[in-house]
Structure 1
C-alpha cells in the first residue's frame, strides 16, 4: 500500500499539499479494498490519469465484488473506506460490465496549469 501511495505522490506535482494528502488517502482506501477483496495471488494496478483540470486515480483488481458505501456504527473497525473516498474526492465510481475484475476510480479537480508566455 505504501508503494502505491508513493507512486501516486510522485505524480502529483502542481497539486496543493492538502489536495495531494486527500488523493493519497483515497489511494490508500482504494488499494486497501483491492487487497481485501481480490483473490489471493492476484495483483492489482494503480493508474493515474492527468488532465488539464483533473486527476483521476484508478485501482484495477481481479475481484467481482461490487463496491458500495457502508454505514458503519461508531464501534465498527471497518467499512469507512468508500465513505472517505466519497467525502474527499470530487467524484468516484466504477464502470459496470467491463470484463473480469473491476476498476474503482476517484477524480479530483485541479487548477488549470499556468500558461507560460514569451
Structure 2
C-alpha cells in the first residue's frame, strides 16, 4: 500500500489544538480533497487534539499523523497520558463531553490503540478520492523521490516522538494500518 503521510508534533498548550487543526486542514487542501473533507478533518482533529491537551495530564507533547492510503484519510493523535478515551453520557445542557461521539458520528471509522510504554493514539478515518497523480509526484519529490511504501519497509508504521533533550518517548508499531 503506497500512501502519503505528514506528521506534526506539538507541546501541550492551550493554543496547540488550533495549530493542529490548521495543519491538517492545509494538508487535506494541498492534497486537493476539497473543503467538505477539510472541514470534517479539521473539526475532528480539533476534538482529538483538545482531548490530548486536557485529558493526557502525563504528557507534555503530542503528535498528529495524517496518512492518505487505500482511499482513506487517517488522522491519529498520539499522546503519552495513561488514560484511555471513553465517550461520556451528556445531557442536553452539558457544555462538554460530546467530542468522541461527534468523531464516531462524522468519521467513517474511529478508535484508539495503546502505545507501548504508555499513551495511546486516537484516530479517525474519512473516505477520500484517489490522490491525483500530480499530487503524488509533488509529494514524492518532497520525500527525495520516494513515496511512503508501507509494505516495502520505507515506513513500517513505527511512530516516534523525541523530547527537546533527544530522549525517545515512544517507539510503537501502530496496528491500525499505518
Normalising by the residue count of structure 1, what TM-score does the alignment of the two structures yield? Answer: 0.88
Distance 1:55 1:69, change over 3 A: same
The structure richer in strand per residue is 2
- Quick check: 1:103 aligned with 2:132? no
Instruction: Name the residue aligned to 2:78.
Output: 60
Counterparts of 1:115 and 1:32 in 2: how far apart (Å)? 34
- Quick check: 1:47 aligned with 2:72? no
Alignment check: 8 A CA contact 1:89 1:107 kept? yes
Higher relative contact order (CA 8 A, sep 6+): 1
Alignment check: 8 A CA contact 2:59 2:81 kept? no
SS of 2:114's partner is: coil
For residue 115 of structure 1, report the CA deviation from its aligned partner. Answer: 5.6
Question: How many equivalent residue pairs?
Answer: 116
Instruction: Name the residue aligned to 1:89.
Output: 107
Alignment check: 8 A CA contact 1:52 1:113 kept? no
Counterparts of 1:97 and 1:49 in 2: how far apart (Å)? 18
Counterparts of 1:7 and 1:114 in 2: how far apart (Å)? 20
Normalising by the residue count of structure 2, what TM-score does the alignment of the two structures yield? Answer: 0.60
Alignment check: 8 A CA contact 2:115 2:121 kept? no
For residue 45 of structure 1, report the CA deviation from its aligned partner. Answer: 0.8
**Runs (5+) with no aligned partner, structure 2:** 1-16, 135-178
